[in-house]
Chain A
Amino acid sequence: MNDGPLIVQSDKTILLEVDHELATEARHAIAPFAELERAPEHMHSYRLTPLGLWNARAAGLDAEKVLDTLLKYSRFPVPHSLLIDVEETMSRYGRLRLEKDPQHGLVMRTDDYPVLEEVIRAKKIQPLLGPRIDGETVVVHASQRGQLKQLLLKIGWPAEDLAGYVDGTPHLIALNEDGWKLRPYQQMASDNFWSGGSGVVVLPCGAGKTLVGAAAMATGSTTTLILVTNTVAARQWKDELLKRTSLTEDEIGEYSGAVKEVRPVTIATYQVLTMKRGGLYPHLELVDGNDWGLIIYDEVHLLPAPIFRMTADLQARRRLGLTATLVREDGREGEVFSLIGPKRYDAPWKDIESQGYIAPADCVEVRVDLPKDERVAYAMAEDTDKYRLCATSESKTRVVEQLVSRHAGEQLLVIGQYIDQLDELGERLKAPVIKGDTSVKVRQKLFDAFRAGEIQTLVVSKVANFSIDLPEASVAIQVSGSFGSRQEEAQRLGRLLRPKKDGRSARFYSLVARDTLDQDFAAKRQRFLAEQGYAYRIMDAKDVETAD
């Protein structure tokens, strides 16, 4: 019997025993073809998916190596059907190739004639193809490259894209490494991305994804379009780039609702690009009309549908996706992979934490009992109102006050979903509230004051979920969330993970009303956190005073 760290299951998951001496080695070996699904403290679980296997093929790994790896590190015999399945799946990749033909432009070629016949007959694919050149070759409309790839993936014959990338307009960008250095994992992520061509880098919140983007820009030295979630994030990107690279104020443009500048490096928000007027997207031209050599998608898990469509047309340009979680609540991870590219780098959060690059986090769920009158109101409420009722319970406010006083002197965020609740909390805690209708200017000011320590407590709505860099925040209290959204939980936690000066660990409180929908949703989010490996515990509201 082998004594490896892996257990290969017949349901196509792979368990990795973290405490095994070969665990690190085995993880590196399987990372190229297996997706990390859950990372609780002792047993990580990975999943084998066709997509993951095809990505591995794209990265030059063949079925034999995958099987060898599985057999080598597996503690128990590997289910034979799984081995056969892996081999068969991987053999499907690359039977079709997208190539550049000097005479015909973009063509799809195959050595396997029946496959091409099958594909050509698929109803949805037919219109994307031009005339047939010979038995094994068919012309592809250049504009349909992305969509074709996506459809081919769907019918199970992923194409190998050998047609390459355009270089874009060269523009010199260099990293400005004085007083800081690119961390090794950031360097590796950037290198992996560049050698792979296009793809997604997954790093935990606070691990410095912006710098991976900057490093990629420096390697490419080409005009770059950066797509971000909102204006505050756009400003943060701009600040970071000014600080870390040779780029100057004049070279970086902002393209948002307020300002519309197009510069060699342009930062645009998803919102402005997807704004629709008269059935058209007037600002998509920004993307099409310029010769970008690199497009960076920040928070790629939030990519809205129109951007997907747009991205489909950008297959000739290098694309870098950045994200902390590849979990999408709408289950469209597959499209991210097929349109932007396979995952190029993925560092487990624990590794980075142990290297001291992000702060350790301590998640605490506080169970609050609803007072009797609220319980009755809850019991009688319509289904649509139930969650709101329990999430905004009066009793939560009291617990928040207790917690705030316990953590006096620390930079503290109160995060919630419902504006009324936030307003009330703001009043009770005498803290400013940042919500959707707060202007960008005021937001910036408040965030700056918070960073400087002038304000110690901030009450924020979901506008602060993403891309807001608040390095000194060390405590967050979540009073209500968007139902069971897992990625929201991760993002909110992410606000706390910048390493603290004194090496303290961050504290993330989640207030949950007992025996209600709130608890069900919380259970879902909590499971997600635990699966990501964050330590968490549960306490009762009455113990808040006495707990450490």
Chain B
Amino acid sequence: MPGGAGQESRTGGNVGLMSLIRALSKELEARSDNSLRALFDARPDLITPPVPDFGALAARASARLSVQRALERLNRPQMQVLETLHLCTNTDTGHSASAAGLRKMIPGSSGAAVERILHTLQDLALVHRADPPHGTPESAAKQRHYLPVGSLKDVVGIYPAGLGRSYTELVRLQPAFAQRVVQLVSELHRSGVAIHDATTPMEAALALQHWTSSPEALNTILSTAPERTTALLARFRNWAMGAVPQAQRKASITTEGSDVGPVDWLLARGLLVPLDAAHVELPHSVGLSLRGGAIINDFTLQPPVPELGRTSAVLRRNAALSAISETLRLMGELLHAVREQPLATLRSGGVGVREMRRLAELLRIDQQQTGLLLELAALAGLIRLDVDSSSWVQPPQLEWLVLPRQEQWLWLVNAWLASERVPSLVGQPINGTRGVPAAHRSASGSTIIALSAEAQRPDAPLVRKRILEILHELTVEAGSADGTAPVLDAAAVLQRAEWAQPRMARRFSSMIRGVLAEAELLGLVGSGALSQLGSALAEDQPEAAIAILGEHLPAALSHVLLQADLTAVAPGYLDPGLTEKLLVMADAEGQGPATIYRFSEGSIKRALDTGYDAAGILEFLRDHSATAVPQPLQYLVEDTSLRHGRLRVGPAASFVHSEDEGALLELLSGPTAAHLKLEKIAPTVLVSSAPPRETAQVLRTLGLSPAVDGADEPVVRLRGTQAAQDAHRPVYTAPRMAPGTEEVEAQLAVLRQGGAAVGHRGASGDHAGETGTQLGLEALQRAIRLKQRISMNVVDGLGNANLETVVPLSVSGGRVRVFDPARETERVLSIHRIIDIEAAEETAPVKDFPA
């Protein structure tokens, strides 16, 4: 019964008044193992961590967080039935409802459909069977009646099914409205409107409720409304609250002129109730009457089918494959750039604009793309934050670099699917930095910067998985007639997501565009359509994807074409090792599958600097060129090397210096010191690749007594080599949707044994731990709603327990506000000081509240 709270009988004895948790516990216990398995499968959080017994299971199933998660998985009709059930029942009084009863509130549905959905909801432990309400006619009482779990009220929020609160509730909760409502009703009464006069706010609320209680009544009222009123009300159709400028303006029926606006008109009649300066609410009875007396008026069991464009399969494949090879190529270049120079981070975290610009320039792409790529590299573990230097480096011996391209791709895709990072958020404005500690706020203050904390979204894996599934679903539904594939845009996916998981839709809508863009980058979406690779992944068949990709991605080339304009063209994907070497002696140009390497004096000098000589460079080029080395290139290399290296640098770990040239010559020619690999670099100087200590040791054994300069061994510290955990190839496991079979079976065994045998938390019986807490909270909350007295044992500061009888008023943030009737004061108690709670007006004690 809508708005039925407070009107029902409060007498006990009814099963509804028994603890809902106990009722649920009994019901769960009576279920078959298979039914429980299905339940655990659908709500894995119920048994993670495992529960000791059915009481605990029921308690957890009723916990707010668990219910919230369960609701996220419901589709729109299920949600609609559940919300209707919520509106038509009262868990405090045990007033239940049947499918037939709900059906009346959901036009377009059938009794069987509603019954079926209720059954599903019951399987999910979101509703359970209950006795019919008192005074139900015998025929109707035979039908199954249901009640939702207690915490549903908190989870669905204040606007279930988008309907507002009742006038009585508004009067209770909105003091401003309570002050005004009596005058408002009197004014209406006096100006001849058929409404009862009232002297108290509650009477006035009831009068308004009665006045607007049927669609016909409301139609009569609205028949004199100014034009555009209907249009305005239509905006409140799906959601009871709306924004209106100056919502608390003075609007009165006695002063209004003929040119009154719709908002003033509605406010003056109490059809919209101001909440604060900018918002108004459409009260429950008005909303219900607007919907023709129904709670739900868009019920359908079939998901909406979006209108989709089509693209050819050839284009789709081309787009996906080109995106993949481009992403992999850029990733390779990115890693090369990071190896050359690690990416510095800002003090506040993330990579700053200057570094991004440098990187973008190096990669010859724009900054937005660079951000995406960088995030992708980080989430795949291809680069990681070096704590000592606080810069991003590539881990040493990165396996990714040497994998075939299809496996490189899978590595990226797996990491992406599993990652809580959302690369596409980079560059987006930061909104709602509330939850983020100040230290993590982006330095620029306006947009999210790459590799900063803001690009983290814990639900990203789940959303990605679902989006991929929806894409697949829509693709399969649309079929692939005559070599075409459906183009799926964000709107189509969102429409389906809103139907399939309305409670998740908001999270979808904020991420969908980004996820699609990322999927395009990874070739899961091509030319706007889900690619074969994307389908394979949606079906959890990564091997199939690898196979497809392996077929289309050519193997690495091991040669380039050298040309007289001093370029080397790699006509395709070049072996990474070769690329690395070429990049030393030439500069890369161009953007795409082929790369052009341009040789110049500068680049050849660079190669000479890294230890190549002219012959070495030319030999390398000859070995890896499909064509002869052009004369100008040869000239360039030789000419540059001739004038390079007037100062020579070579490796040596120690030197031997002596004015006695003969002694040195002797040392050099003798076999005794051969393993020191001595080399003469000047008449009086030899160098060795052995460290000074070892050299000195050998020389001593030869009867010489060397003096050792700078006795400390040189300490060479190379950046990025410190104990770093290597990046491991990510193996993607779908976000935990269901617990493993073993866990389920173990849990079932525990439950069926009655739990007592298992030493979980050392507690036994159904009052243990979680259950007790839930039961205590349930008792507390019910007492708050019904304004009942409770007695509880509270520990004071000295550790003494005192029994107190109070009326709880509210509970939040770990504290209870109570009214103490004995002292006639209000107090605030910490929940953790409460040992147990007992409803003072009930016989059954509720104990064991955790201390």
**Interface on A for B, CB 8 Å cutoff?**
1, 7-11, 13, 15, 17, 38, 40-43, 71, 75-80, 83, 365, 367, 526-527, 530-531, 535-539
Chain B interface bracket (under 10, 10 to 19, 20 to 34, 35 or more): 35 or more
- B774 in the interface, Cβ–Cβ < 8 Å? no
A42-B561, A530-B632, A538-B631 known; A8+B315 contact, CB < 8 A: no
The 3 closest A-B pairs by CB, nearest first: A9-B592, A530-B565, A77-B322
Chain B residues whose CB sits within 8 angstroms of the CB of A537 once the complex forms: 631-632, 635
Chain A residues whose CB sits within 8 angstroms of the CB of B565 once the complex forms: 38, 40, 527, 530-531
Chain A residues whose CB sits within 8 angstroms of the CB of B401 once the complex forms: none
Q: Which of the segments B116-124, B508-516, B566-574, B776-784 contacts the partner chain?
A: B566-574
For residue A515, which residue of chain B has the nearest CB? B643
Chain B residues whose CB sits within 8 angstroms of the CB of A527 once the complex forms: 565-566
A40-B565, A71-B314, A537-B635 known; A15+B594 contact, CB < 8 A: yes
Between-chain CB contacts (< 8 Å), 27 pairs: A1-B551, A7-B571, A7-B593, A9-B592, A9-B593, A10-B592, A11-B364, A13-B592, A15-B571, A17-B571, A38-B565, A40-B567, A43-B571, A71-B314, A76-B322, A76-B593, A77-B317, A77-B319, A77-B321, A77-B322, A79-B322, A531-B565, A538-B632, A538-B635, A538-B636, A538-B639, A539-B635
In the complex, A536 Cα to B636 Cα: how many Å? 13
Chain B residues whose CB sits within 8 angstroms of the CB of A71 once the complex forms: 314, 318
* A76 with B563: CB separation less than 8 A: no
For residue A20, which residue of chain B has the nearest CB? B571
A11-B591, A80-B318 known; A536+B571 contact, CB < 8 A: no
* New contact pairs (9) apart from A7-B592, A538-B631, CB-CB < 8 Å: A9-B591, A11-B590, A17-B561, A42-B627, A43-B563, A76-B572, A78-B318, A80-B527, A538-B632
Chain A residues whose CB sits within 8 angstroms of the CB of B321 once the complex forms: 76-77
For residue B625, which residue of chain A has the nearest CB? A42
A77-B319, A536-B632 known; A40+B571 contact, CB < 8 A: no
Q: Max chain B CB contacts within 10 Å: which of A38, A42, A536?
A: A42
For residue B595, which residue of chain A has the nearest CB? A9
Quick one: which of B563, B571, B590, B594 contacts A41, CB cutoff 8 A?
Answer: B563
Per-residue 0/1 for B521-557: is the Cβ within 8 Å of any A Cβ (1 yes, 0 no)? 0000011000000000000000000000001111000
In the complex, A80 Cα to B526 Cα: how many Å? 8
Q: Max chain A CB contacts within 10 Å: which of B321, B561, B592, B639?
A: B592
- B564 in the interface, Cβ–Cβ < 8 Å? yes
Shortest B105–chain A CB gap in Å is 49
- B326 in the interface, Cβ–Cβ < 8 Å? yes
In the complex, A97 Cα to B779 Cα: how many Å? 80
- B410 in the interface, Cβ–Cβ < 8 Å? no
- B63 in the interface, Cβ–Cβ < 8 Å? no
* B569 with A42: CB separation less than 8 A: yes
In the complex, A135 Cα to B631 Cα: how many Å? 64
* B564 with A40: CB separation less than 8 A: yes
Chain A interface, >50% SS class: mixed
A7-B594, A77-B322, A79-B322 known; A530+B317 contact, CB < 8 A: no
Q: Max chain B CB contacts within 10 Å: which of A1, A9, A41, A76?
A: A76
* B569 with A43: CB separation less than 8 A: yes
Q: Which of B616-670 contact A (CB under 8 A)?
A: 627, 630-632, 635-636, 639
* B569 with A76: CB separation less than 8 A: no
In the complex, A10 Cα to B636 Cα: how many Å? 30
A10-B592, A38-B565, A531-B565 known; A83+B315 contact, CB < 8 A: yes
Chain B residues whose CB sits within 8 angstroms of the CB of A7 once the complex forms: 571-572, 592-594
For residue B320, which residue of chain A has the nearest CB? A77
- B323 in the interface, Cβ–Cβ < 8 Å? yes
Chain B residues whose CB sits within 8 angstroms of the CB of A8 once the complex forms: 592-593
**Interface on B for A, CB 8 Å cutoff?**
314-315, 317-323, 325-326, 364, 526-527, 551-554, 561, 563-567, 569, 571-572, 590-594, 627, 630-632, 635-636, 639
In the complex, A78 Cα to B325 Cα: how many Å? 10
Shortest B426–chain A CB gap in Å is 19
In the complex, A343 Cα to B562 Cα: how many Å? 30
For residue A537, which residue of chain B has the nearest CB? B631
In the complex, A80 Cα to B320 Cα: how many Å? 8
Shortest B44–chain A CB gap in Å is 39
Chain B residues whose CB sits within 8 angstroms of the CB of A536 once the complex forms: 564, 632
Quick one: which of B552, B564, B592, B630 contacts A1, CB cutoff 8 A?
Answer: B552
Chain A residues whose CB sits within 8 angstroms of the CB of B639 once the complex forms: 367, 538
* A43 with B561: CB separation less than 8 A: yes
For residue A535, which residue of chain B has the nearest CB? B564
Shortest A332–chain B CB gap in Å is 24
Shortest A103–chain B CB gap in Å is 42
For residue B553, which residue of chain A has the nearest CB? A1
In the complex, A224 Cα to B666 Cα: how many Å? 93
Chain B residues whose CB sits within 8 angstroms of the CB of A538 once the complex forms: 631-632, 635-636, 639
Shortest B531–chain A CB gap in Å is 11
Quick one: which of B563, B592, B631 contacts A79, CB cutoff 8 A?
Answer: B592
* B322 with A80: CB separation less than 8 A: yes
For residue B591, which residue of chain A has the nearest CB? A11
Chain B residues whose CB sits within 8 angstroms of the CB of A530 once the complex forms: 563-566, 632
Quick one: which of B315, B317, B325, B636 contacts A76, CB cutoff 8 A?
Answer: B325
For residue B319, which residue of chain A has the nearest CB? A80
Chain A residues whose CB sits within 8 angstroms of the CB of B319 once the complex forms: 77, 80, 83
Shortest A432–chain B CB gap in Å is 34
Q: Max chain B CB contacts within 10 Å: which of A7, A41, A79, A80?
A: A80
Chain A residues whose CB sits within 8 angstroms of the CB of B590 once the complex forms: 9, 11, 13
Shortest A68–chain B CB gap in Å is 10
For residue B565, which residue of chain A has the nearest CB? A530
In the complex, A538 Cα to B632 Cα: how many Å? 6
In the complex, A75 Cα to B590 Cα: how many Å? 17
Shortest A99–chain B CB gap in Å is 34
Chain B residues whose CB sits within 8 angstroms of the CB of A535 once the complex forms: 564
* B569 with A15: CB separation less than 8 A: yes
Shortest A206–chain B CB gap in Å is 21
Shortest A539–chain B CB gap in Å is 8
Shortest B628–chain A CB gap in Å is 10
* B591 with A77: CB separation less than 8 A: no
Shortest B358–chain A CB gap in Å is 19
Shortest A455–chain B CB gap in Å is 33
For residue B569, which residue of chain A has the nearest CB? A43
Chain B residues whose CB sits within 8 angstroms of the CB of A78 once the complex forms: 318, 322
Quick one: which of A41, A77, A365 contacts B318, CB cutoff 8 A?
Answer: A77
In the complex, A78 Cα to B314 Cα: how many Å? 11
For residue A3, which residue of chain B has the nearest CB? B554
* B326 with A10: CB separation less than 8 A: yes
Chain A residues whose CB sits within 8 angstroms of the CB of B635 once the complex forms: 537-539
In the complex, A80 Cα to B517 Cα: how many Å? 13
Chain A residues whose CB sits within 8 angstroms of the CB of B527 once the complex forms: 80
In the complex, A9 Cα to B572 Cα: how many Å? 10
Chain A residues whose CB sits within 8 angstroms of the CB of B567 once the complex forms: 40
In the complex, A90 Cα to B38 Cα: how many Å? 57
Shortest B311–chain A CB gap in Å is 10
For residue B632, which residue of chain A has the nearest CB? A538
In the complex, A530 Cα to B590 Cα: how many Å? 18
For residue A43, which residue of chain B has the nearest CB? B569
Shortest B519–chain A CB gap in Å is 13
Chain B residues whose CB sits within 8 angstroms of the CB of A40 once the complex forms: 563-565, 567
Shortest A36–chain B CB gap in Å is 14
In the complex, A13 Cα to B567 Cα: how many Å? 16
In the complex, A76 Cα to B322 Cα: how many Å? 7
In the complex, A537 Cα to B364 Cα: how many Å? 32
In the complex, A527 Cα to B632 Cα: how many Å? 10
Chain A residues whose CB sits within 8 angstroms of the CB of B564 once the complex forms: 40-41, 530, 535-536
In the complex, A531 Cα to B526 Cα: how many Å? 36
For residue B314, which residue of chain A has the nearest CB? A71
Chain B residues whose CB sits within 8 angstroms of the CB of A75 once the complex forms: 571-572, 593
Chain B residues whose CB sits within 8 angstroms of the CB of A83 once the complex forms: 315, 318-319
Chain A residues whose CB sits within 8 angstroms of the CB of B631 once the complex forms: 537-538
